[in-house]
Amino acid sequence: MNTSQETNQVTPTRPPFDRDHLPPGIDPPGPQDPEALGRYRVVGRIGAGGMGAVYAGVDEAGGCAAVKVIHPQFAADAVFLARFAREVDLVSRVRGTCTATFYDADVRAGTPWLATEYVRGLPLRGHVREHGVLTDGVLLALAVGLAEGLAAIHAAGVVHRDLKPGNVIMSPAGPKVLDFGIARTVDGTALTKTGGLVGTPGWAAPELFEGVQATDRSDMFAWGGMVAFAATGRNPFGTGGADVLIHRTRREEPDLDGVPPELMDLVRRALDKDPDRRPTAERALTELTSRWNATRVQPLPHDLPAHDQTSPPTAGFGPAQATEIVPALLATEWRGITAPEPRRVRRSRRGPVIAVTATAAALVAALVAVWLVVDPSIPGADDPSAAGSDGGGDAAGGEDAGGGENGSGGGEVTVEDGPARVEQARRLALDATGFEAFLGATTGGGEGSESYELYWYEEDPQPVYLQSPEFPGPGHTDVMYLGEGLNDTLFRDTVHLTADPVVGPYYRDPGADPSRTAGVDRERLVHDLDLAAEAEGGVEYLDTSEAPATLLYPPERMGGMDALRGISGHHYSGVYTKEVLASGNTSLGMVEHTFDLWTDDEGYPLLFTVYSEPDYGDGQGPRPGTETVVYVSFNEDVDIEVPDESEIEPARPSTF
């Protein structure tokens, strides 16, 4: 089967990518990647998972697409291929302003593929973290866009079944719903068997945890939670383990404090425990757009919709069709939403990771997964039994994605095994033959409260570790470790009293504190990961997401803010307790630390951030502090210039 909708292929004025410019983190294709898929020339790799891969493709006209392929072993499976063909058929039916557009597919090609719109922008969760909650017209536009997207999906006979902040993209043109109709594996908190659990605890409707088949009203429960999250910045049922979230979803009321009054009633109805009392997506869309249209000086006119014969006849024109109001509403209310611009291609030194941009993370989750699930209660739906029993893997977190053998011989570790994955990240970092990383620490908040340290390590031609701090002040001291004691430790001072920093020579300091050289190199890189692996209450796996940019102003020589943008991967979180020491090694007691860790597909750490509020006993009360390690690369060439012995001073120069 070859399906094509050329009318959907539009070449934008400023394309999201081309051969020489890719969004941050999308890797250039490797030697094993295909050169072309159908009419699309492959210019980048967006990501890969257990069932397939997603590529950035460009056609002859310059049109861009996210092109999904399935792995050869599945393409050779007739049953699997039939399911892929059915997915293509269902995806091609969806027509929505706020859904990712279907472009083309060929399920009979040697490498079967499916091309859809590449959506630029941050996922909803990443946008809220970086820019804050949505308010006023933008919040209304999000609610309308999600309802319109779900209405289009349901009209095609599809149930989303896993709507959550990670698969809604805040594109400059409006919110876009991805991942529609895809059921994940049991490892990813979902079963693909009919009637099984589908979705993500905390967002999935309560009936799904009772073995009831998902319907369009199940999606509307998630819609209500999404709007509440966008308005408040809080998950409607909080955070915690799957069992805790399932209990809250089934037995407790959602947290709606902060949802504006004009949306509260509709959101509350959508989050009703009884699916029969929830509005349909079409009904929610009608309520929202009709209310907005009524406030306009010149409402959009249209004949009374044919399906709304219950309303009394009116003179002249009645209310416009809801779907016709959506473009005007988005054009008016969807303001201030931007997406990262593509940058000139620079090959990754570590190779492909799960997805190093926010958009890529969502696209991988949406496009590498396989199964579409149809709701037989919606007109036009196919019979789910026609495709046989469901099965398959999870795009972002199946066994192939994070559980295979790794370079350190760690054995099989699934992405859902939080403690094992944190320990694996620590082990991989310690076993690396080279690395670059930087750490930023903030105490109290505000300008001047943040300090930074840059770390390099290489084993060849000799083991050497270089630590370079940078913080507000007249100078800083680099430390180079060539061994374990002070005799093998070099120092170098830099003074910032003039426009051009003055860098002094390397020197030894026999009078330095010996404890400064004790296990500082490798252990500093994985600071507290061992404690995180044994977090009280366990380590929670939060699926794939973008890591928030928690640092204020990292120096340009450490990558600046660009080093923090678009870091995405497997997200883990938890809480551990450790003793905190103030200056003079004064103990502040045991302090609770909340951590978030992101790892790539192989298990290497990408970003590790820790938040705590120790009380320094100075009468000011607890002061917030955040420490974030950004891991730039592992196992790549690191160029550290080691001075010749003749260039090393025996003591600190008197001029510094």
- Residue 162 is a catalytic residue: yes
Q: How many residues does the structure list for the chain?
A: 656
Question: Dihedral of CA 383/385/388/390: which sign?
Answer: positive
| 550-572 burial code (b ≥16 CB/10 A, e <16) | bbeebeeebbeeebbbbbbbbbb
281-294 and 216-232 are packed helices; what angle lies between their axes, rounded to 10 degrees? Answer: 50
Task: Kindly tell me the sign of the dihedral angle through the C-alpha atoms of 513, 519, 522, 525.
Answer: negative
Q: Give the containing element (helix H, strand E) for 530.
A: helix 529-533
Say how far residue 489 (Cα) sits from the centre of its chain. Answer: 40
- The helix/strand/coil state of 228 is helix
Please answer whether residues 272 and 205 qualify as being in contact, where contact means their C-beta atoms are separated by less than 8 angstroms: no
Distance of CA 552 to the CA centre of its chain: 20
Q: Is 184 helix (H, G, I), strand (E, B) or coil?
A: coil
Partnered with residue 58 across adjacent β-strands are 41, 64
Tokens 């719903």 belong to: 177
Cα 343–Cα 344–Cα 346 angle in degrees, nearest 5: 110
Burial pattern 250-270, b for ≥16 Cβ within 10 A else e, equals eeeebbbeebeeebeebbebb
The contacts found for 56-62 with CB under 8 angstroms, 24 or more apart, are 56/17, 56/22, 56/26, 56/118, 57/115, 58/15, 58/17, 58/18, 58/19, 59/9, 61/9, 61/11, 62/11, 62/15, 62/18
Question: Whose structure tokens read 């369009």?
Answer: 216
| Three-state DSSP class for residue 265 | helix
Are 171 and 121 contacting, i.e. CB atoms less than 8 angstroms apart? yes
Tell me how far apart the alpha carbons of residues 437 and 459 are, in angstroms, rounded to a whole number: 16
Residues 329, 607: Cα–Cα separation, whole Å: 38
How far is the C-alpha of 371 from the C-alpha of 54, rounded, in Å?
A: 16
Give 32's contacts (C-beta < 8 A, 6+ positions apart): none
Catalytic, out of 27, 162, 478, 600? 162
Residues annotated catalytic, as ranges:
162
